[in-house]
Structure 1
Amino acid sequence: MARVDYFNDPDAPVANSIVPSVTVVALNDLGEVLLVHKTDNDLWALPGGGVDLGESAPQAAVRETKEETGFDVEINDIVGTYTNPHHVIAYDDGEVRQQFSICFTATILGGEPHTSSETKEVAFIAPSRLDELNIHPSMRLRIEHGLSHRTRPHVG
């Protein structure tokens, strides 16, 4: 399903849903961040997705990372909460979702990279190369917070 992200855009459609979601900042031994190239909006992003009924947010983060990248992870900490009501995502089925995401840090335990129906590439990217990729500002903020070793989580 195709989507369009609106970020602080006064012409954005009005949200009609909110879905708890998660993202994960996981680094390899070289300090490169695990990213996916999404099929729905053609942007690079942290692995993540919606929290299913019956699972916790950390469980969703582990599941989504495995599904989208092929890697098993262990959740370590919270990077922050990202609930900007001026970031909405419009889907081609008419849903307009208000952002609501919890971002975690994680350790990679193992696995082999693979794509999914939601990802067309999986890659470890050096922080110095992030500017070369098309990354949504909201996702870029999470990545920056996850790489900055903040002493307190972002609350927003």
Structure 2
Amino acid sequence: MPGYTRHEYGERVGATGQLRLGAVAAVLAGNRLLLTKRTDNGEWCLPGGAIEPGERPAEAAERETYEETGLSVRVTGLIGVYSDPDVVVVYPDGRRVQIVGVVFRAEVVAGEAGCSAEVSESRWVTMEEAAGLTVVANHRLVLPAVFTGQPYFDPPAAPPAS
């Protein structure tokens, strides 16, 4: 899947796109989290991507981490499921997608984090360092849960005023 070039934001803008299932790995080493810098837009994110047909979400997170960084990881738990109906990813071919992402906690099995066609830099960061980076919107939502170990809960929006 080609990289995206931008996000669009707006109230329920997700209704203008299609849903896409994704999986990401929150790889921690001590108090440091692995983030990757995307080659297409220069923003930072957790390694991950689309869940392919016939693949378990955890397998997708492990595969995508290896493809993007060369690092072999093993999923050890579920952090949560996220989606923001106020954000769409716009791909170069014009497709508009609201991501439904599954976030897994993972541990390093082998290798060292590096770069790929999709990743220009890999960096191990603390919570404070991550706060100073431009992190893609969908991943910025889950970073507090990743660092605290608390499950991520995507609360429903308040009902409209009557």
TM normalised by structure 1 equals 0.88
Partner of 2:153: 154
Q: State the Cα distance separating 1:12 from its structure 2 match.
A: 4.8
Q: Distance in 1 between matches of 2:135 and 2:144?
A: 12
8 A Cα contact 1:14 1:96, kept in partner: no
RMSD between superposed Cα atoms in Å: 1.9
Matched pairs, number: 153
Q: State the Cα distance separating 1:69 from its structure 2 match.
A: 1.3
Q: Distance in 2 between matches of 1:116 and 1:15?
A: 31
Partner of 1:44: 44
Partner of 2:29: 28
Unaligned residue ranges in structure 2 (runs of 5+) = 156-162
Partner of 2:56: 56
Q: State the Cα distance separating 1:153 from its structure 2 match.
A: 4.3
Spell out, residue by residue over 1:13-35, the C-alpha distance to the aligned partner (whole angstroms, 9 max, x if none). 85332221011111114x21001
Whether 1:73 aligns to 2:106 is: no
Q: Distance in 2 between matches of 1:86 and 1:123?
A: 28
Q: Structure 1 vs Structure 2: percent identity of aligned residues?
A: 27
Partner of 2:158: none
Q: Which amino acid aligns with 1:100?
A: V
4, 7, 30: which one pairs with 2:6? 4
Q: Which amino acid aligns with 2:107?
A: T
Q: Distance in 1 between matches of 2:57 and 2:41?
A: 23
Partner of 1:16: 17
8 A Cα contact 2:51 2:57, kept in partner: yes
